Structure 1
Amino acid sequence: MNSPQSAFSALGETHEVFNQVPPLDGANLYRVDLPLQEWVHRFQGGWAEDRLQAYGALAGGPLMAAGFLANENKPVFKSHDRYGQRIDLVEFHPAYHELMRTAIEHGIPSLPWTDPRAGAHVARAGLSYLHSQAESGSGCPLTMTFASVPALQLQPDIAAQWLPRVLASEYDPRNLPMERKAGVTLGMAMTEKQGGTDVRANTTRAHALGAGGPGQAYELVGHKWFCSAPMCDAFLTLAYTDKGLTCFLLPRHRPDGTRNAFYIQRLKNKLGNWSNASSEVEYRGALAWMIGEEGRGVPTIIEMVGMTRFDCMVGSSALMRQALSQATHHCAHRQVGGRLLAEQPLMRNVLADLALESEAALALSLRMGHALDNADDAQEATFARLVTAVGKYWICKRAPGMIAEASECLGGAGYVEETILPRLYREAPVNSIWEGSGNVQCLDVLRALSKEAGVLDALFAELGDGHGDARLRAHIERLAKNFRDTDDIQYRARQLTEDVAIGLQAKLLLEAGNAVVSDAFIASRLGDGGREYGTLPRGVDSEALLARSTPHLF
């Protein structure tokens, strides 16, 4: 006779699995994102609609799966081969190569340079926005390859050799000399142990192999504390000559095909950005060519840094958008107390607030792309100079908190690695730190506004008079007054930069003409909203905001 215990054991299953959220796998990330569609079209990128649709399907499907694999299988550094010979190789999982290959074949590092029509930077930012939702680590070499072009163009003889391969739509990860590859990627190595952001404290020295000067060969001796993507084919780097800090292009291989004296010391053990390899390197007489004017290394490499800072804006906006998508999808299917979470008033307040933050970040990022597309216009070029720092500071600062709130919408499920949210959260701080942390950006805002002609005028020309909204007009007037008050202005730099960013976002949303979005943003950011997400004031149409942000769910 069976005991009650054995009878219960025979049942096998202890409970029915129900009230679980269906997977979001395979969603077309462009098709479900109405704000992205509208802002791309608003800033003249609509001609890339088919490309964006196609990439949205890839990003939500195979690239999303590749992103998980690339993070579960981190890059591995191999200093020597089995015979004891130094090789300095970083090995990546095939999923990482799939991410890189797909992005390069679709023009993410090259589109504005190979097809520089109106809206090209906006269209390319849209593609990058989709790619970064699937996986951000691969964005580092993609961004640096994209951003290297303006700096290389300062040295036409070197550019003629490298740019055809930099701009090629072919990915070749093999460790071969540039001359044997159809496509290459470029990296950057600027900072050193003793200085970090203060590159003037660098100690790496460059020694001319001949007459010296722009385009000429040098050997570099020194180190770099952060070299991102060390398997790139070449790097823009900084070293001192007798005339000061100078920019150089340093390849992994010498023209005769031998390895350059470029030695990887170790890979960084980072909080996030796991799929990408970041390293410490040494130059032991590494061959490099001078790029730009001798002693003007910082202004030369800033041509690259400006573009990478723009991509920090786009990348952080992308992380925020994917976090929003995960939170709204969960709440549209999960019941608590017999009602869907998305139907409950307080959760609607939270989700609608997150949707506002996401769209405002996207709007400012694509407005920056529009400025780059029109950089031959003095107003737009000056505006871009300022907003690179403003947007990089504000959007990157907002991302970690916004993603944390989105994770909380899932409860404990948002804290486990089976979801993408922990990865998004770990990834978010890198965009704020990389290419100059928050204080660097805010001081750069002050530098631009106080020392560069026309920047302050360009800002207030963009902001206008409030566009008919009294709250925005009052905000702009206070901002102008605060800039006129120069006492302790460095101490107040973060507050000033925040006020500029919110004013620009409010203006953009007002101009776009969707009153539900602009009224909610201004009421919460310039009015009586609270300090946390989910504190939207009364009267905000949260249902309409959610229907706009994720139309497939609401």
Structure 2
Amino acid sequence: MSYLSLRGHVETHEVLNQPADRQDQDLWAEDPALICHAGAAGADIAHLAAYGEKLGSAALRQAGLDANRHVPELVGFDRGGRRLDEVRFHPTYHQLMQAGIGAGYAAIAWEGRLGGHATHAAMVYLTSQVEPGVCCPMTMTYAAIPALKADRALFDQWVPKLISRVYDGAVKPLMRKPGATMGMAMTEKQGGSDVRANTTRAERDGDHYRLTGHKWFCSAPMSDGFLTLAQAPGGLTCFLVPRWLEGARNAIHIQRLKDKLGNRANASAEIEYHGALAHRLGGEGEGVRTIIEMVHHTRLDTAMAPAGLMRAALDRAGYWARHRSAFQKQLIDQPLMRNVLADLALDWEGTLALGCHVANAFDGTSDRDRAFARLAVALAKYLGNKLCPGLVYEAMEVIGGAGYVEESGMPLFYREAPLNSIWEGSGNVICLDVLRTLRREPLAGEVLSDELGKAAGQTRHYDAAMKAHMQRFPKLPDEAQARWYVESLATLLTASVLIRHAPAAVSDAYVATRLSGERGRTAGAIGNVDVDNILVRLGGG
């Protein structure tokens, strides 16, 4: 018998104990915790159900992986040496952008419907599970709307395009596009979060200004416009810089794309303004006051995104555990594995619940709502993002070596996990903002006290933790203790929300393990909690 005929009879080895590839998922219907907390926040349930089903399709989830694998490319010049300063994306990037923009990711909060910000926040959570990089340009577009209220003419010109449900990634001026996106360019090398140290110059040119300077980070450089800060004669000022002009490109030069740890589908860049035309937004010297409205709304998204990343990681870990056996048992039936997953689930659901609750305050119209939103979004952003990297790592370890390879999707979420803590105010900046808000806005502190008081008298652990917090911090702490103070407040507020809206199995376990110290320092080092009913919240197939 010949070698070829022998070879023809060789069959591949039988594959055992490997979970099958997942096909279409329903990211809404399979997530009972989201259904619970988005509903409590007043979100549009029908809209989210449709969006979650669409995003969970195998095709869009694969598009997310492809958009990360085929990263954006900078095309600086054409073949004749003329400047282009363009970024080219893989087709799946545009596919995902159309899915989000078309569903109202940037628009729904501004369309006048009830629960618009809560619905938007849940969309951030869902989108982050599929491809978090495209969230950046869509979030910036959403968040630019309130900042543009500083100038009626610019608002009327730009906002109808920004809240359009048509995505147009083409290179052409605003007036020739059915829809537009907005980016941001604030950070400079010498200042970072200290934007008052910016050196970019703004010089008057008739009705406009001309900007000259270098921006160390520009989010989404192919956006149709950017909100930016520059030093005008009257001080640090906010400007809207259009990407394209009628008949010409604006003088914005892309120096390089950032080679980032994660967020790979999004083309963050270094740019330089070389006399770029700009429209002043707000008065000279009022730059921080003007752009802070945009920052405030992007912080909502950076508070929700980690919950989405946690969910994506836990969903994969849970699926693996339900379909993989070891030592003659399914992993999900191993007591220690169940403890690990349940412990992680508490941090995920707490982050989700607090984010949704904060989004509900963004939908409010009273002074109390606005004061609480300013304070609570900082608390949610801080705590959720500090918990996210550790949770994603632990979920990766549940899967083991298979979770360490790209095709599992876990490395994507692991690389993404630190981002939202750094973006729009790193941990220390957020803590200082919390102290500043409490000093300057007594109403914010009053509303927070009321929120914490709504859960009082229901569990001894919660009441004891409240008492301990007040004894340790009878007044606002100094800067050195700010992280301890903010972590304590954020954890108490999370517990309060869970007590009011989550099943007792979840809230009791969260309070017992997060507020009383009845746990070790690593995931799964817990006891005496209702593991079975906590794991029900993971849903999934």
Range class of TM-score, shorter chain: over 0.9
Work out whether residues 128 and 309 of structure 2, in 8 Å CA contact, stay in contact via their aligned partners in 1.
yes
Deviations along 1:151-207, one digit per CA (max 9) or x if unpaired, are: 001211110111111111111101101011110000000011111111111101111
Superposed, 1:80-229 pairs within 5 Å as 80-114=77-111, 116-210=112-206, 216-229=207-220
Q: CA deviation at 1:479?
A: 2.2
Is 2:449 the counterpart of 1:451?
Answer: no
**1:370 counterpart (347, 360, 370):** 360
Deviations 1:284-312 (A, max 9, x none): 11100111122010111110001111101
Please give the alpha-carbon distance, in whole angstroms, between the structure 1 residues aligned to 2:104 and 2:371.
27
Matched residue SS, 2:145: helix
Please tell me the residue identity of whatever aligns with 2:89: F
Report how far residue 450 of structure 1 moved. Answer: 1.9
Q: Indicate which of 234, 246, 249 corresponds to 1:259.
A: 249
Kindly provide the amino acid, as one letter, of the partner of residue 219 in structure 2: S
Q: CA deviation at 1:128?
A: 2.1
Q: Distance in 2 between matches of 1:479 and 1:379?
A: 23
Instruction: Choose which of 379, 382, 386 in structure 2 pairs with 1:397.
Output: 386
Cα deviation digits, residues 91-150 of structure 1 (max 9, x gap): 000000000011111000110101x23211111212221111110000000000000000
The equivalent position to 2:33 in structure 1, one of 29, 35, 55, is 35
Q: TM-score, normalised by structure 1?
A: 0.94
User: What is the letter of the counterpart of residue 371 of structure 2?
Assistant: T
Q: Per the alignment, in what secondary structure is the counterpart of residue 52 of structure 1?
A: helix
Quote the Cα distance in structure 2 between the aligned partners of 1:37 and 1:525: 24
Residue 66 of structure 2, aligned match among 54, 64, 69: 69
- Deviation for aligned residue 1:50: 2.5
Q: Distance in 1 between matches of 2:194 and 2:502?
A: 43
Q: 1:478 and 2:478 equivalent?
A: no
d(CA) in 1 for partners of 2:495 and 2:83? 55
Change beyond 3 A, Cα 1:251–1:453:
same
Instruction: Give the 5 Å matches for 1:421-432.
Output: 421-432=410-421
Counterpart CA distance in 2 for 1:329 and 1:288 is: 51
The one-letter amino acid of 2:469's match is L
Amino acid of the structure 1 residue aligned with 2:209: Y
Aligned residue identity for 1:459: L
1:330·1:410 contact (CA, 8 Å) conserved in 2? yes
- Partner residue of 2:408? 419
> Which segment is superposed worse, 13-22 or 78-87?
13-22
After the TM superposition, which of the residue ranges 59-68 and 93-102 deviates more from structure 2?
59-68
Matched-pair contact (CA < 8 Å) for 1:523–1:537 = no
Residue of 230, 238, 247 corresponding to 2:229: 238
Match of 1:285 in 2: 275
| 2:518 is the alignment partner of 1:522 | no
Deviation sequence 1:450-483 (CA, Å, 0-9, x none): 2223222221111006242221122222223333
How far 1:10 sits from its partner (Å)? 6.8
Q: Check whether the contact 1:467–1:510 (CA below 8 A) recurs between aligned residues.
A: no
Q: Secondary structure at the match of 1:224?
A: strand
Alpha-carbon deviations, 1:303-354, whole Å to 9, x = none? 0001111101111110001111101111001000110000000000011111
Task: Report the Cα distance in structure 2 between the residues aligned to 1:219 and 1:70, rounded to whole angstroms.
Answer: 35
Secondary structure in 1 matching 2:19: coil
Residues 152 and 486 of structure 1: CA distance in aligned 2, closer, same or farther (over 3 Å): closer
Other structure's SS at 2:264 match: coil
Tell me if structure 1 keeps the 8 A contact 2:36–2:502: no
Q: Which moved more, 1:454-463 or 1:146-155?
A: 454-463
Residues in 1 aligned to 2:11 and 2:344: alpha-carbon distance in whole angstroms: 39
The aligned residue for residue 213 of structure 1 is none
Q: State how 1:318-397 maps to structure 2 within 5 Å.
A: 318-374=308-364, 376-397=365-386
CA RMSD across the alignment: 1.7
Aligned to 2:498: 509
Tell me the SS of whatever aligns to 1:247: strand
Check the 8 A contact 1:467/1:507 in 2, yes or no. no
SS of 2:66 mapped into structure 1: helix
> How many Å apart are 1:28 and its aligned residue?
0.6
Q: Is the 8 A contact 2:361 2:370 kept in 1?
A: yes
Identity of aligned residues (%): 47
User: Any idea what the Cα deviations from partners look like across 1:249-286, whole Å, max 9, x if unmatched?
Assistant: 000123x3311111100000000000000000001111
